[in-house]
Structure 1
Amino acid sequence: MSRVRIRLVTAVLAAALAVGAPSAVAYAAPAARQQARHLQSAETIRQIPLQGAVNVRDLGGYRTYTGGRVRQGLVYRSDALSKLTAADITTVAALGLTKVVDFRIPMELQYDGADRLPAGLAPTSRPISDLGLYGTLVGAIATGDPVKQEQMLGGGRAEAYMRDIYRTFVTGPENRAQFAATVREIADAGQGPVLYHCTSGKDRTGWLSYVLLRSLAVPEGAAAEDYLASNTFRGAYDAQVRAGLKQSGRMQNPDLLIPLQEVRQDYLDAATAQIGADYGGFYGYLTEGLGLDLRTLAKLQAKLVR
């Protein structure tokens, strides 16, 4: 069997495993499962410590169903890089990045600023819709009115908003096209290390990371843990933001923002349920939704799994 055919078969098997194979962790007792997840996360999640960004990580290190491990040093996920210090830029330069993909929409760039990157590296703008979340958030804070803020974000409305956003990662043709273009670039054997990011590095970035890991046959539980880890990396920073808003008088109850600041399993579940409804499963989302052919999936495996 030719090497190309072997890779194609591997991709098919990996996708099937990513969809249907049971995780050993998933069948453990609750206490054991929690401990196993903690140990797995401690072993595999590698943060890149920076002063101007708090959620920068190497996506490598995870074990796969096929007995491999995702290579480190090839794919990075991040929050916005607009506040990097000179020392941060030196650290980022050492990663050897050849491409930075920015999923932020124009309004986010307007408020937060463009990425600060090493010389010779320019971001590729690939905006993915947030369903107006950023504008809603800015508008809610700008009112300074606790009644309006409660009306806009309270009573489960913020959580519902987030679930709607995640569904559009699956239903939105333009969103799917942006994610797919990034996956194809990552799969390209001639493409060096890639970093992709949004504002907080947790939703659009978190979803693509989840998709990538599952397409590489990383167990669903481990891919979900990588997604949920944003709460750990962003927790202290987000709490400072809420404290600052309360101290400034702009929000009486800044805890209204918590559902928007956090990642949650039910947000992820909203997207995966949409995958089931629209494509019958994860493999259908990869091939029909994102338009990734078997050769691309095989290239992804060959490049990113050792």
Structure 2
Amino acid sequence: MKTERQVVLEGAYNFRDIGGYRTIDGKKVKKGLLYRSDELCYCTQKDVHTLEQLGLKSIIDYRGDREWKEKEDVHIENVTIYHLDPKADTAAMASAGLADLKEQGYGELTADAARKLMVEQNRQFVLTESSKCVYGKMFELILDQKNLPLVQHCRGGKDRTGYGVALILLLLGVDQDTVLQDYMDTNVCKYEKNQKSLQAVSEMPNREDFVQALRYLKEASEEFLLTALDEIKKRYGTVSEYAMQELGMTKEKQKTLKDMFLEEG
């Protein structure tokens, strides 16, 4: 399964262009400049060629040290990798394999606990200083023309990446429903991969609750991203105000963002 914006790769499932969306005021996000993905450590040489053809210049890797040092992104000529870790432990755990989950002590995680963990993780994206520092730096990078085209990714391309992409699209003027759909498209791109990981557990006896826990960890849910967006609205009123107060995105920088990434629709 794929979406219209997906770039099909052999070693990554969730690589897609975030351009093409229309804004509330009738403009359109430019294609070919900003991408999102899951981890790029399994990319084949064919994939590398595909990414080179995109003219990729920069990678933002939201994975923590342990994640990326064990599985470094594939080398792409003339591409700079920026490691920006928002210290999102739950998001990192959510993308882990079954063996990793057991090793970290989550082998008996309940569905209710998993859902609460994911909800709280998305709230923390808004609140923690480490997260605000990371997403402020993300905007610095994309506002520098020499870094484009750029892809941002984490392990699964869902939570840490999803929050960053949501901030960009909302500041560009894309409506919230469309932003949520972009977030939910992870479930389309990673359907087969997620089903394989769930199938192994579902065949075990008396593991229905743990299967549901895995679904909360592996699959995008509107509730999760909405938790972050609602927290922003509650504390700051708008994403624009949040970006100004916490991410260093002045009104001038927000105008530059629109000038760089929007075109007439």
Q: With structure 1 as the length reference, what TM-score do the two structures score?
A: 0.77
Q: Which moved more, 1:86-95 or 1:235-244?
A: 235-244
Q: Which moved more, 1:124-133 or 1:135-144?
A: 135-144
Match of 2:60, SS state, is: strand
Match of 1:129, SS state, is: coil
How far apart are the structure 2 equivalents of 1:74 and 1:263? 24
Choose the corresponding residue for 1:66, options 15, 25, 28.
25
How far apart are the structure 1 equivalents of 2:24 and 2:5? 20
- 1:51 and 2:10 equivalent? yes
Q: Which residue of 2 aligns with 1:200?
A: 156
Q: Retained in 2: the 8 A contact 1:52–1:88? A: yes
Q: Which residue of 2 aligns with 1:23?
A: none
Matches within 5 A, 1:142-291: 142=103, 149-150=107-108, 153-244=109-200, 252=207, 255=211, 256-291=213-248
Provide the aligned C-alpha RMSD in A.
2.5
Match of 1:120, SS state, is: coil
Structure 1 residue 184 displacement after superposition: 2.0
User: Rg: which structure is higher?
Assistant: 1
Q: Which residue of 2 aligns with 1:90?
A: 49
- 1:108 and 2:67 equivalent? yes
Structure 1 residue 161 displacement after superposition: 0.3
How far apart are the structure 1 equivalents of 2:202 and 2:221? 24
Q: Supply the AA of the counterpart residue of 2:221.
A: R
Match of 1:96, SS state, is: coil
- 1:141 and 2:117 equivalent? no
How far apart are the structure 2 equivalents of 1:143 and 1:170? 25
Structure 1 residue 188 displacement after superposition: 2.4
How far apart are the structure 1 equivalents of 2:9 and 2:259? 30
How far apart are the structure 2 equivalents of 1:202 and 1:83? 17
- 1:80 and 2:30 equivalent? no
Match of 1:76, SS state, is: strand
How far apart are the structure 2 equivalents of 1:62 and 1:143? 39
Choose the corresponding residue for 2:86, options 123, 128, 149.
128
Q: In the TM superposition, what whole-angstrom CA distance separates every residue of 1:249-292 from its partner, at most 9, and x where no partner exists?
A: 7x955513110001111111211121123222222211112121
Match of 1:149, SS state, is: coil
How far apart are the structure 2 equivalents of 1:143 and 1:215? 37
Match of 2:24, SS state, is: coil
Match of 2:35, SS state, is: strand
Q: Supply the AA of the counterpart residue of 1:120.
A: N
Q: Supply the AA of the counterpart residue of 1:117.
A: H
Q: In the TM superposition, what whole-angstrom CA distance separates every residue of 1:224-257 from its partner, at most 9, and x where no partner exists?
A: 110111111111101112234567x7x9555131
How far apart are the structure 2 equivalents of 1:303 and 1:142? 45
**Equivalent pairs: percent with the same residue?**
27
Q: Retained in 2: the 8 A contact 1:97–1:194? A: yes
Determine which structure has the larger helix proportion and give its number.
1
Unaligned runs of 5+ in 1: 1-40
Q: Which moved more, 1:74-83 or 1:62-71?
A: 62-71
Unaligned runs of 5+ in 2: none
Q: Retained in 2: the 8 A contact 1:210–1:223? A: yes
Q: Which residue of 1 aligns with 2:249?
A: 292
How far apart are the structure 1 equivalents of 2:184 and 2:221? 7
Q: Supply the AA of the counterpart residue of 2:243.
A: L
